[in-house]
Amino acid sequence: MERYRYGVWKKESDPKWLRGGNEGIFKKQFMENVVGIKATKGKNMGNKNKRKRRINNKLIGIRDQRKKKRTLHNLEIFEKCGRW
């Protein structure tokens, strides 16, 4: 049986570390490679909204959390305005 995890197909016949015994490591690598976020603690990886917010702030270049929260769909507006 094959499973799809973090962009890679993994077979049950693969060694345990490939099968997903160390999910935290795969999550960490996924966040660093694909999303481009330095993942420090595996404990915080499960918080989807926190991760989304971090991605948004990284993409738009906003460091100050107190500024108005902008979401991913606003990126289309930025692209049209040439603010990117």
What residue spans of the chain are helical by DSSP H?
Answer: 16-19, 23-30, 48-60, 74-81
Would you state the pLDDT for residue 47? Answer: 63
Question: Residue 84 corresponds to which tokens in the numbers above?
Answer: 């990117």
Query: How high does pLDDT run on average in the chain?
Result: 55
Q: For the whole model, what pTM was predicted?
A: 0.18
Residue 76: pLDDT band with limits 50, 70, 90: low
Alpha carbon 67 to its chain's center: 22
Question: Residue 59 corresponds to which tokens in the numbers above?
Answer: 């993409």
Would you state the pLDDT for residue 40? Answer: 52
